[in-house]
A and B are shown apart, each in its own frame.
Chain A
């Protein structure tokens, strides 16, 4: 159905798909940095599995973005040959992996957001995106359960695990506001029935997160200045370093296959 989109709607929809795809590509790459470094073998495997799910979802979303754009860019071209300023991920996904508590708290905040997002996107007027959502939501349920369980174990665990979990939450909270901002891109794709405004499920997200945090004996941080800019390509200094590592092989040997 996207062949009939007018220029404005098409451009907004490509931007929207890049936001969805970049969130998952960047967070998936951050998680993959745990491979070989997690505290126990089972969690090393689990984090690599979640990373694989997210990078798989990103491949589908960026592939769709390239197809709708119609300029000949596939998922690999979008992943490996864009600069940091062209990335549209939310800032929370690009922060360094930190300790295990920061990784798990971020995973809780993002997975619960993704669960609501996929729920809404199953109704997208774009059958391809609706299909991706129906597939990804099954994987996301596992991500939510794992991160919620770990948040409770860490928060309601030892003094040190509690302290680290609370510190992670305090550090991350200021990056959650950006997930629910709406701009012209959201308005255009929502009006066309293609996308779903995140502001519509912010209260559900907050209730789910607060439920887990209460069981984890963690304190929801006070209202803080919310960081923003990732959706417009204004990133932290961390993304450029991450992309340099992620993109170097593809850029050194363009078109290589193995």
Chain B
């Protein structure tokens, strides 16, 4: 019987970096911060994930994609573990990940609001236009095509665009 050793953590992470977010396909699940940890033990690999939003409907697809990516590399026994703390935040996106978002046409998020006392009527300022860089933009709706995005409009290039919401 041949026992093949499981790859080290660094290689496992490299495999997981090939799994893209189904809604934002320029980012992978590691740089998005959805994958929190990956561990190997005698009985296989455990991938620890956290959802971006409580009701994110993409999580099932993401988990299936992670299992498929590892299986394609010969790792049969994959266990998914979901954690909710610490809560996911857009502050985990690296500068490189934010630039990928902008180049894809989605305005990257600013810093996540950390104040517990939220001004009831205050709106987050709208981000610069990802197409022309103008700051003359307006927030049209704080809810967009997915839970993580809002809808904005650029007054200079007259384009509607999506923005990744700071969370």
Q: Which A residues are within 8 Å of any B CB, using their own CB?
A: 42-43, 45-46, 49-50, 52-57, 59-60, 112, 115, 119, 127-128, 130-132, 134-139, 141-142, 144-146, 148-149, 152, 208, 211-212, 215
| Complex CA distance for A68 and B75, rounded to whole angstroms | 34
Q: Can you list 17 A-B contacts with CB-CB less than 8 angstroms, sorted by A residue number?
A: A45-B141, A46-B142, A49-B143, A52-B55, A56-B51, A56-B53, A60-B54, A128-B84, A131-B84, A132-B54, A135-B87, A141-B118, A142-B142, A146-B142, A146-B143, A148-B121, A208-B120
List of B residues within 8 angstroms of A134 by Cβ: 84-87
List of B residues within 8 angstroms of A46 by Cβ: 141-143
Is B142 a contact partner of A145 (Cβ separation < 8 A)? yes
List of B residues within 8 angstroms of A142 by Cβ: 142-143, 165
The reply on B73 being an interface residue by CB < 8 A is no
List of A residues within 8 angstroms of B41 by Cβ: none
A130 to chain B: closest residue by CB: B85
Scoring B51, B54, B151 by chain A CB atoms within 10 A of each residue's CB, the highest score goes to B54
| Complex CA distance for A144 and B119, rounded to whole angstroms | 9
List of A residues within 8 angstroms of B141 by Cβ: 42-43, 45-46
Given A43-B141, A45-B145, A138-B167, A144 contacting B53 (CB threshold 8 A):
no
The reply on B113 being an interface residue by CB < 8 A is yes
Select which of A42, A54, A131, A139 is within 8 A of B151 by beta carbon.
Answer: A42
| Complex CA distance for A148 and B121, rounded to whole angstroms | 6
Is B54 a contact partner of A50 (Cβ separation < 8 A)? no
Task: Tell me how far the C-beta of B51 lies from the nearest C-beta in chain A, rounded to whole angstroms.
Answer: 8
List of A residues within 8 angstroms of B120 by Cβ: 112, 144-145, 148, 208, 211-212
The reply on B110 being an interface residue by CB < 8 A is no
| Complex CA distance for A142 and B113, rounded to whole angstroms | 11
The reply on B13 being an interface residue by CB < 8 A is no
A55 to chain B: closest residue by CB: B55
Is B147 a contact partner of A145 (Cβ separation < 8 A)? no
Is A145 a contact partner of B123 (Cβ separation < 8 A)? yes
Q: How does the 8 Å CB contact mask read for B134-148 relative to A, with 1 for contact and 0 for none?
A: 000000111111010
Is B53 a contact partner of A45 (Cβ separation < 8 A)? no
Scoring A127, A136, A138 by chain B CB atoms within 10 A of each residue's CB, the highest score goes to A138
Is A131 a contact partner of B143 (Cβ separation < 8 A)? no
B88 to chain A: closest residue by CB: A135
Select which of B57, B113, B121 is within 8 A of A215 by beta carbon.
Answer: B121
List of A residues within 8 angstroms of B113 by Cβ: 141
| Complex CA distance for A106 and B147, rounded to whole angstroms | 21
Select which of A45, A57, A145, A208 is within 8 A of B54 by beta carbon.
Answer: A57
List of A residues within 8 angstroms of B86 by Cβ: 134
Q: Which 3 A-B pairs have the closest CB atoms?
A: A56-B55, A56-B54, A131-B85
| Complex CA distance for A149 and B83, rounded to whole angstroms | 33
The reply on B42 being an interface residue by CB < 8 A is no
List of A residues within 8 angstroms of B145 by Cβ: 45
List of A residues within 8 angstroms of B51 by Cβ: 56
Contacting A at CB under 8 A, from B97-122, are 112-113, 116, 118, 120-122
List of B residues within 8 angstroms of A208 by Cβ: 120
Is A49 a contact partner of B147 (Cβ separation < 8 A)? yes
Given A131-B85, A145-B123, A212-B120, A139 contacting B54 (CB threshold 8 A):
yes
